[in-house]
Amino acid sequence: MTDAVDSTDQPTPRRNPKPKKAKLAGREMKPSTLMMGHGYDPALSEGSLKSPIFLTSTFAFESAAAGKRHFEGITGIREGGAEGLVYSRFNAPNQEILEDRLAIWDGAEDALSFSSGMTAICVLMLAYCSAGDVIVHSGPLYAASEGFVAKVLSKFGITYVDFPAGATREELDAVLKKAKTQADDQGGKVAMVYLESPGNPTNALVDVEAVRDARDAVLDASCPIAIDNTFLGPLWQRPLEHGADIVAYSLTKYVGGHSDLVAGSIAGAKKWMDPVRALRNTMGGIADPNTAWMLCRSLETVELRMQRAGENAAKVCEFLSQHPKVDGLGYLGMIKDARQKDIYDRHCLGAGSTFSLFIKGGEEESFRFLDNLKIAKLAVSLGGTETLASHPASMTHLSVPHARKQALGITDSLVRISIGIEDPDDLIADFEQALEAV
């Protein structure tokens, strides 16, 4: 093929900049500053201060050789991924700007956006697991994540071993050894350690540092540790600093923050992202341009919103903890268990604004409380500007078998609350009158 066009001679196409570390006067800029402009050059879009929404399915190549070079990147023939924009199932400007900005929050090299949190999690797991492999995961997980492992991956000969959040180093060693034996018996490998911390809906924390140490001792560093950081990220927990390799998000929650979109992401070192990107290229599932644009808008205020919601939650929980009709709180700012408190102190930068409230009684009392709320809306989801309340045992976790729900503490008296950015005294008044009705 001596007469083939050498695609390396072609000029690099014009596209938005990808600065590695944004510095000013030798000082690294903070994420909240970078959210206003990082990865976007107005000069490439008629001076438009904000990025336009690029509603296009495909991108015109500068030349046939440039098209060849881009496809070499997309297909993996050339290392380093796509150098140019190709086709909107693979990459596009709004999604690239969003991914660059998401990576900043977690201190990650690379990030990938998806059409939902579950798409992110499913494509991530599929990219790493083959028939015969074992996934080790913490419990509880968001019910759909747990269901995907137990009911969908199992169809392809992938099994799992789970362990309770809070497991100690010794317990983790034993779990990983069991998983290794199981994988050997099945002719596969331990493909991934998948964590959710805090777990939905109990707020139980996983000791990510202990998981990393156990993985390094029992398995090897080729088995990635992934963690769903939806409840505390990106502000209050930075799992990549504690030994996780990949961080996953439902961006539908705090990052989107206005309960008006559904999206997801993963972030980590490029070597961990590349297999997932390749599968996303094949399957689709990238966030759409409008959602990516909305998320960039949301990222400009994520720190402000989360800080305010966190302050509100502390005030509301202070009130709830004193109330005679309250049986307890699963709030990270009031942990009683010494093991959980130790994990919190080492891993978390804030207590968040999503917690479980245990009402004295059972389903009837919980429903009466929920039905009497006036400001807080009765809806699943969390992390929005508005306060939401739901009943996991009969809603998000309804599909979880009864015995497992009991074992995980997802009881009929558990109401999950996500505090928003309303006035805290108004919220307290609302909870007070709803508790009175119980």
Ligand X SMILES: Cc1ncc(COP(=O)(O)O)c(C=O)c1O
Q: Which residues of this protein are in contact with ligand X, per CB under 6 A?
A: 116-118, 142, 196, 200, 228, 230-231, 250, 252, 262, 264, 381
Minimum CB separation of residue 382 from ligand X in Å reads: 7
Helix or strand holding residue 330 (H, E): strand 326-330
User: In 14-142, which residue ranges form alpha helices assigned H by DSSP?
Assistant: 31-34, 64-75, 93-106, 117-128
Minimum CB separation of residue 222 from ligand X in Å reads: 25
When the beta carbons of 118 and 410 are compared against ligand X, the nearer one is 118
When the beta carbons of 63 and 381 are compared against ligand X, the nearer one is 381
When the beta carbons of 81 and 350 are compared against ligand X, the nearer one is 350
What CA–CA distance (Å, rounded) separates 179 from 133? 9
What CA–CA distance (Å, rounded) separates 325 from 213? 42
Minimum CB separation of residue 311 from ligand X in Å reads: 22
When the beta carbons of 201 and 310 are compared against ligand X, the nearer one is 201
Minimum CB separation of residue 11 from ligand X in Å reads: 39
When the beta carbons of 200 and 237 are compared against ligand X, the nearer one is 200
What CA–CA distance (Å, rounded) separates 298 from 293? 9
For 346, the token pair is: 């080492």
What CA–CA distance (Å, rounded) separates 91 from 242? 30
Minimum CB separation of residue 436 from ligand X in Å reads: 30
Sequence-ordered list of residues with C-beta below 8 angstroms from that of 322, at least 6 positions apart, any chain: none
Residue 362 has a CB neighbour count (10 Å cut-off) of 12
Reference 196, options 411, 74, 354; nearest CA is 354
Strand, helix or coil for residue 40: coil
When the beta carbons of 118 and 208 are compared against ligand X, the nearer one is 118
Measured from each CB, the residue nearest to ligand X is 117
What CA–CA distance (Å, rounded) separates 412 from 82? 50
Strand, helix or coil for residue 39: coil
When the beta carbons of 399 and 433 are compared against ligand X, the nearer one is 399
Minimum CB separation of residue 47 from ligand X in Å reads: 34
Minimum CB separation of residue 228 from ligand X in Å reads: 5
Sequence-ordered list of residues with C-beta below 8 angstroms from that of 219, at least 6 positions apart, any chain: 176, 180, 190, 193
For 189, the token pair is: 């490998």
